[in-house]
């Protein structure tokens, strides 16, 4: 299996350091609803996790929640509410969106919050000061960028280039304009924590170094995030973590996803062209959104378009029809062999998670199943393979109006079946009416009665 690392700028053979694949992905700053850009990033890292687990790797995944930040404080002040309340509300909203997108959360996954990790953050900052990589000034603490000799290795830029750019923000307290903040001295009216340098709160970059150290140890296998995080965020994470532990590399493989664009611009809050996940899911299924996202390579930019999503919605429905088809052979006789398609799917995914090619294999398999089914060849086993491979991409292939079979509903349906067999039509209709009141309609198909949610 080969994966592309931003650090080396090429595809490398994937060789995790141990039995467990340690993955860290930068999480959200919960101050408003998550948008399609977030959907893209978290769907991609969800598929990477699913695929590694399919390949029998044990995966330990950590993703932070930046629940204290300038953006949260600003928005909470405008709304006249506590920053913690705002962060809580949008953290919940974020997880609701992730559930709706079928982003799997395994038992070995952790989602630590910055405000719960202040002691570890302080420990790391103190360690950096003790080793001469950081210094307190005016109640804040700064990282001494020139003390990290290979600073710039991830973004492939030199310090002089960065100085010439807009990145260096001067401040009286800093020794050097390139130095970045690890601990921010409190300002009136802001939430703060006690520290050896006075009251304040952590900077954003140190949070990720502290949490990855605490939950995953000194060296990560994969660190992910959007390409907009390469500089300065991930560059700073490397400087902090490698300076603190004295071990290189902090991360074996750096994976960065492309960004979502809308009409040629980056989708961003400041441009006011955001489409939230909730907006998109009101119109399209989660499967459609995934097919749309995974139809491009994860490192390429993705242009959001209604046409593209409609095509993805149709494509998802096509796969659904194929897996729902009756098997003409009824599980007996000659069967269609889907294993060559599984091999092609694995080859595509082994090549730096080429989901676009993997999806194309799924659609080829779907066409082949249809042809085999039309010719009277057994397709039951191939349908299972299609469903399994679709599951690696996180596709559920369930009708949008699918009803999870709750026991009470299943019992009612079975009772109605019994009554119908006994030709007690009136009583059977009463059960149908009762389910109708619960918002469930029943569709009688050759395979039995299927409950569906009323639209
Ligand atoms: Zn981060």
CA of 208 to the centre of ligand 1 (A): 5
CA of 161 to the centre of ligand 1 (A): 23
Q: What is the average pLDDT across 197-205?
A: 97
Of 21, 50, 125, 10, nearest to 389 (Cα)?
50
Q: What is the number of residues in the chain?
A: 455
CA of 106 to the centre of ligand 1 (A): 21
Looking at residue 401, what is its pLDDT?
65
**Contact between residue 100 and residue 63 where contact means Cβ atoms under 8 Å apart:** no
Task: Report CA 99 to chain centroid distance, whole Å.
Answer: 11
CA of 204 to the centre of ligand 1 (A): 7
Query: Quick one: residue 264, left, alpha or beta (phi over 0 = left, psi -120 to 50 = alpha)?
Result: left
CA geometry: angle 66, 67, 71, nearest 5 deg: 85
CA of 449 to the centre of ligand 1 (A): 49
Q: What is the average pLDDT across 170-182?
A: 88
CA of 253 to the centre of ligand 1 (A): 15
CA of 11 to the centre of ligand 1 (A): 23
**How sure is the predictor about 443, in pLDDT bands with cuts at 50, 70 and 90?**
confident
Residue 413 is encoded by which pair of tokens?
């349906």
Q: What is the average pLDDT across 32-40?
A: 96
For residue 50, the surrounding DSSP H or E stretch is helix 36-54
Q: What is the average pLDDT across 238-267?
A: 94
**How sure is the predictor about 101, in pLDDT bands with cuts at 50, 70 and 90?**
very high
For residue 162, the SS3 value is helix
What's the chain's average pLDDT? 93
Judge whether residue 62 has pLDDT over 70.
yes
β-strand partners of 193: 200
Of 37, 62, 59, 32, nearest to 48 (Cα)?
59
CA distance 221 to 3: 11
Q: What is the average pLDDT across 152-178?
A: 80
By percentage, how much of the chain surpasses pLDDT 70?
A: 96
CA of 25 to the centre of ligand 1 (A): 7
Looking at residue 435, what is its pLDDT?
85
CA of 442 to the centre of ligand 1 (A): 48
CA distance 327 to 334: 11
CA of 224 to the centre of ligand 1 (A): 9
Q: What sections of 101-203 are H helices per DSSP? A: 118-130, 159-164
Judge whether residue 272 has pLDDT over 90.
no
For residue 98, the surrounding DSSP H or E stretch is helix 83-100
CA distance 295 to 191: 43
CA of 393 to the centre of ligand 1 (A): 25
Looking at residue 410, what is its pLDDT?
82
Name the one residue in this structure whose structure tokens are 């109605």: 416
By percentage, how much of the chain surpasses pLDDT 90?
A: 79
CA distance 245 to 183: 19
Residue 450 is encoded by which pair of tokens?
């299927």
Looking at residue 238, what is its pLDDT?
98
Judge whether residue 310 has pLDDT over 70.
yes
For residue 94, the SS3 value is helix
Residue 223 is encoded by which pair of tokens?
């660190």
CA of 251 to the centre of ligand 1 (A): 13
Looking at residue 399, what is its pLDDT?
77
Q: Is the overall model pTM greater than 0.95, yes or no?
A: no
β-strand partners of 134: 143
CA distance 135 to 141: 6
Task: Report CA 408 to chain centroid distance, whole Å.
Answer: 34
**How sure is the predictor about 267, in pLDDT bands with cuts at 50, 70 and 90?**
confident
Residue 134 is encoded by which pair of tokens?
């950081």
**How sure is the predictor about 306, in pLDDT bands with cuts at 50, 70 and 90?**
very high
Task: Report CA 280 to chain centroid distance, whole Å.
Answer: 16
For residue 402, the SS3 value is strand
| Neighbour count for residue 119 (Cβ, 10 Å) | 11
Q: What is the average pLDDT across 395-421?
A: 82
Q: What is the average pLDDT across 115-135?
A: 98
CA of 323 to the centre of ligand 1 (A): 40
Of 224, 294, 216, 291, nearest to 253 (Cα)?
224
DSSP 224: E
CA distance 176 to 159: 11
Instruction: Give the per-residue SS3 of 339-390.
Output: HHHHHHHHHHHHECCCHHHHHHHHHHHHHHHHHHHHCCCECHHHHHHHHHHH
CA distance 223 to 204: 16
CA distance 1 to 362: 20
**Contact between residue 233 and residue 204 where contact means Cβ atoms under 8 Å apart:** yes
Judge whether residue 405 has pLDDT over 70.
no
**How sure is the predictor about 266, in pLDDT bands with cuts at 50, 70 and 90?**
confident
């Amino acid at each position: 299996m080969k994966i592309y690392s931003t650090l080396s700028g090429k595809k490398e053979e994937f060789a995790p350091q141990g039995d467990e694949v340690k993955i860290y992905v930068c999480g959200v700053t919960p101050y408003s609803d998550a948008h399609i850009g977030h959907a893209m990033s978290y769907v991609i890292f969800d598929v990477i996790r699913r695929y590694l687990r399919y390949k029998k790797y044990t995966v330990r995944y950590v993703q932070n929640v930046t629940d204290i930040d300038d953006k949260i404080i600003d928005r909470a002040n405008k709304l006249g509410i506590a920053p913690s309340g705002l962060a809580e509300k949008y953290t919940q909203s974020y997880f609701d969106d992730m559930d709706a997108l079928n982003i799997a959360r395994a038992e070995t996954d952790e989602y630590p919050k910055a405000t719960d990790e202040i002691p570890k953050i302080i420990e790391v900052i103190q360690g950096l000061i003790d080793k001469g990589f950081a210094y307190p000034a005016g109640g804040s603490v700064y990282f001494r960028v020139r003390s990290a000799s290979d600073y710039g290795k991830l973004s492939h830029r030199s310090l002089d280039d960065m100085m010439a750019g807009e990145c260096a923000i001067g401040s009286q307290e800093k020794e050097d304009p390139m130095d970045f903040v690890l601990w921010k001295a409190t300002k009136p009216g802001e939430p703060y924590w006690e520290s050896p340098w006075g009251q304040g709160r952590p900077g954003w970059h140190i949070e990720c170094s502290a949490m990855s150290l605490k939950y995953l140890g000194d060296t990560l296998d994969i660190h992910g995030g959007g390409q907009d995080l390469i500089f300065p965020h991930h560059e700073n994470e490397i400087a902090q973590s490698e300076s603190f532990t004295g071990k290189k590399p902090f991360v074996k493989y750096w994976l960065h996803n492309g960004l979502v664009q809308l009409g040629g611009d980056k989708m961003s809050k400041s441009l006011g062209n955001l489409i939230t996940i909730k907006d998109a899911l009101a119109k399209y299924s989660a499967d459609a959104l995934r097919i749309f996202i995974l139809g491009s390579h994860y490192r390429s930019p993705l242009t959001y378009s209604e046409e593209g999503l409609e095509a993805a919605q149709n494509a998802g429905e096509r796969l659904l029809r194929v897996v729902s088809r009756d098997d003409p052979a009824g599980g007996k006789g000659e069967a269609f062999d889907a294993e060559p398609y599984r091999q092609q799917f694995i080859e595509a995914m082994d090549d730096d998670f080429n989901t676009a090619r993997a999806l194309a294999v799924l659609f080829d398999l779907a066409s082949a199943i249809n042809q085999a089914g039309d010719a009277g060849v057994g397709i039951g086993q191939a349908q299972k393979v299609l469903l399994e491979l679709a599951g690696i991409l996180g596709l559920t292939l369930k009708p949008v109006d699918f009803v999870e079979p709750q026991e009470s509903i299943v019992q009612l349906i079975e009772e109605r079946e019994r009554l119908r067999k006994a030709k007690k039509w009136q009583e059977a209709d009463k059960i149908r009416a009762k389910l109708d009141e619960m918002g469930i309609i029943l569709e009688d198909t050759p395979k039995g009665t299927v409950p569906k949610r009323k639209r």
